[in-house]
Amino acid sequence: MRRKNKERLLVSCIFFNLLMVLFVNCDIKYNKNILVVSKPHVVLGEKKKVAKENLDNLKMDKPFKMDEKIDRKLDRIIVVDPGHGGVDKGTNIGNLYEKNINLAIASYTKSYLQQNGFKVYMTREEDKLIPLKEIGNFVNDIRPEVFVSIHVNSFKENKYEGISTYYYDPNGFQREERIELAKSIQKQNIKDGIWHDRGILRQNIAVLRYSNSNCVLVECGFITNEGDRKKLQDESILKSTGENIAKGIINYINNKN
Ligand SMILES: [Zn+2]
């Protein structure tokens, strides 16, 4: 019996050590991942959500599931990301939630791109939260020509209004093309005079930093501004904004080729 106990103890020790090794390895990988996405998604007026979105990163442990095989050689692939979703409502005024506006605009972007022969992948088609890390993995798995994330801005001072396109080039990565893409989308979005032009801005935003593909984040007006808020409740403006984002992407790709 005593010998058996010793054996048991030995086996337990080996098992425990193996577990420790596994844990340590996971931790290193995990920390590596977090390092990649640790800087917050800070867009003017979105600071509160930063902590939440980073918490969502921490929860991520499974890769994004894709329901069909993707031919990586296929050109003309775009990934569209309607920001936030599910418990993460984004910014809001009363019952008007950013997550719903983002999805509406993004759906119009998707439709327009599809009508023009592009293959489009959405990070979400329904009201659910996709952690930033998963979005990053999804984009980097698909390797689209363009990745666009769609958001609505907010700020404590309600005088701020208008549309802006954010790009980020980590250490100059894809600098020229990211700027060109941002310019092309911004140009299209201000063409019809609906939105005040806030220009293009370089900002270290997690979804942009993590993407290996050319990418931008569009902030479609300020929910905190009365004029913009009216626009964000007008379906025809959501449609034209979504389509203008698509047109900006198409123009960029046509000029590039
Ligand atoms: Zn947002």
How close is the Cα of 153 to the center of ligand 1, in Å?
6
Does residue 257 sit in helix, strand or coil? coil
Is residue 50 predicted with pLDDT exceeding 90? no
How close is the Cα of 111 to the center of ligand 1, in Å?
21
Residue 253: per-residue pLDDT: 95
How close is the Cα of 16 to the center of ligand 1, in Å?
44
Does residue 150 sit in helix, strand or coil? strand
How close is the Cα of 106 to the center of ligand 1, in Å?
13
How close is the Cα of 151 to the center of ligand 1, in Å?
4
Is the pTM of the predicted complex or chain greater than 0.95? no
Is residue 215 predicted with pLDDT exceeding 60? yes
Residue 256: per-residue pLDDT: 86
Q: What is the pLDDT of residues 122-168, one digit of tens each?
A: 999 999 999 999 999 999 999 999 999 999 999 999 999 999 999 99
Q: In this structure, what token pair is assigned to residue 231?
A: 């626009």
How close is the Cα of 198 to the center of ligand 1, in Å?
16
d(CA 216, CA 147): 7
d(CA 165, CA 136): 19
Q: What is the pLDDT of residues 90-106, one digit of tens each?
A: 999 999 999 999 999 99
Is residue 10 predicted with pLDDT exceeding 70? no
Is residue 1 predicted with pLDDT exceeding 60? no
Kindly give, in sequence order, each residue whose CB lies less than 8 Å from that of residue 137, ignoring residues fewer than 6 positions away. 63, 64
How close is the Cα of 23 to the center of ligand 1, in Å?
34
